[in-house]
Chain A
Amino acid sequence: MVLLAALAGIPLVANDYWLNAVLIPFLIMSLTALGLNLLMGYAGQASLGSGGFMSVGAYATYNLLLRLPELPLPVSLLLGGIISGLVGVVAGLPSLRIKGFYLVASTLATQFLLEWLFNQYGWFSNYSTSSSISAPRLAFLGHDLSSPAGRYLLTLATVVVVTAVAARLVRSQTGRTWMAIRDMDTAASVIGIPVSAGKLKAFFVSSLVIGIAGALWAFAYLGTVDARSFNLDRSFQVMFAIIIGGMGSVRGNFLGAAFMIFVPILLDHLGGGVFGGAVDPGQLENFQKALFGALIVWFLIKEPRGLAALLSRAWTRLASRINR
């Protein structure tokens, strides 16, 4: 509760740069990571289609706002998410037959197909001449949410609600079904767990959450809908976030997203401070990429359950030391 109040109070103290360039993308990245984590960390179905599902959510919400302007904003967001969820179910159909590496390849095909679709057919972007289209005005209950603070609060509220529901879900029968499929799918089907339905539900819920995150990315962060910002790089970024943050953990998504958003900014400032512009920015960017790659490899080897596990272990150690 305290944390929530603090987060809601941030716009009072933070400047627009912090809201626009740091906090909003951090929150949306956390939400996207949560979406993928439900599918990959809980249900064990690896996917590289996150960028594609983000774009479905963004374009669907854009068209709902454009064509049905009488719908309140949260309804459009949710409907956009549901449309993305349904696309996710279709994209998840191959998971009934294939798994692991082959499933990754099939979600990769989904990613490319969706990118192509939104570039190819003008209807999705209302026949806009440029490839990126500006987002409609954001408003809810008469309040204009176009200011940085407004967009931040919209994002925060959405992330809080979706995270609360997801946290419930993973502890419920549905979550147990997903984890059973992840840990041992053959035994799960023998003891009567509906494996196929469980996988498709995981694709649905995951894509729904990622779709909402995609709509927020377009409207609350970028201010434009642009298929190029939902490319394969984005899918990889989300996957790295959950690997670093912790698969099968709700908290891990926020840690992983924080890592993905804050570390590059930190490296930028550090690079600027230490080398005083003596180093070429392009070089610095390459260095960042190499560092990221190394960290991911290190995490996969040393701590497959990510920052979340690292932190909870540190916490237990601290608690036992205090209790002593």
Chain B
Amino acid sequence: MSGPILQLRDVSLSFQGIKALNALSFEVARGEICALIGPNGAGKSSLLNIINGVYRADSGSVTFNGERFIRIRPAHAAHLGVGRTFQHNALFRHLSVLDNVLAGLIRHSRTTLLEHAFGLGRDRRESREFKRRADEIIAFLDLTRHRDTVVATLPYGVQKRVDLARALVGRPSLLLLDEPMAGMNQDEKHVMSRLILETNASLGTTIVLIEHDMSVVMGLSHHVVVLDYGRKVGDGSPEEVRKNPDVISAYLGTAH
């Protein structure tokens, strides 16, 4: 399929009269890493939530893979191939790393309750296949030695990687990462950046991410969209955005 994988047109969203997003339009090309940046409260997370249907836009439309949506449900978005990770830890905390990753495959399941209860042939085959896919992603994200550990006991940086593994195991075509490096130290950020680049390069996943650390963003992304107070103030390559006076003023707090 050609054309952009994701297209937003005139998307607006408000919470109790306060405009979070104001007639926002941009495109994400297939196979790129696109960073959404902007000060706190600029509407970045709201935007991700609209793309995968957690919020509904007041107006405007989202086009994913050539299909136009006014409103998409999160589960439907996941089925269409939109994966996402969360800003705040949203893992299944009492489950092992393996079980968390396997949970990311449940939507691909074709087996029924009865087959699970009696362990019939189809269920056995499916679990074996799912385990193989999960182990592949676990190895890819360097989590093999934590595979059977309960996630609540793992360090924060590792948990963020488990979240990524859970989103990635279903092989989404578009992956939304909400501050994948928040709260990480420099070493952890390096590891995460490398993993995001590898995901993009070897799995061909298109990635939209929110990040605050500008050096990370500039090193990672092909395309940067800058938001300020729900409006787009910059859109282009990292170099273009860096030179854009509106972006500089939004970030340095010069009078608008």
Chain A residues at the B interface, C-beta cutoff of 8 Å: 165, 168-169, 172-177, 179-180, 182-184, 186-194, 201, 205, 248
Contacts and interface: CB of A to CB of B under 8 A. Distances in A.
A192 B170 contact: yes
Given A173-B116, A183-B91, 19 more contacts: A172-B116, A173-B123, A174-B113, A176-B95, A176-B99, A179-B92, A180-B103, A183-B94, A184-B90, A184-B91, A184-B92, A189-B74, A191-B83, A191-B104, A191-B107, A191-B167, A191-B170, A192-B74, A248-B94
Interface of B: 52, 54, 74-75, 78-79, 83-84, 86, 90-95, 99, 102-104, 106-107, 109, 111, 113, 116-119, 123, 126-127, 130, 166-167, 170
Nearest to A184: B90
Given A165-B117, A169-B116, A201-B113, A193 B106 contact: yes
Given A168-B119, A205-B113, A173 B127 contact: yes
Nearest to A174: B116
B95 A190 contact: no
A187 B123 CA distance: 25
17 contacts: A169-B117, A173-B130, A177-B106, A182-B94, A183-B95, A184-B90, A184-B92, A190-B74, A190-B75, A191-B78, A192-B75, A192-B170, A193-B103, A194-B107, A205-B113, A205-B117, A248-B94
Contacts of B113: 169, 174, 201, 205
Contacts of A183: 91-95
A192 B106 contact: yes
A180 B116 contact: no
A190 B54 contact: yes
A184 B123 contact: no
Contacts of A191: 78, 83-84, 103-104, 106-107, 166-167, 170
Nearest to B79: A192
Given A179-B99, A201-B113, A205-B113, A187 B90 contact: yes
Contacts of A193: 75, 103, 106-107
A238 B104 CA distance: 33
A37 to B, nearest CB: 14
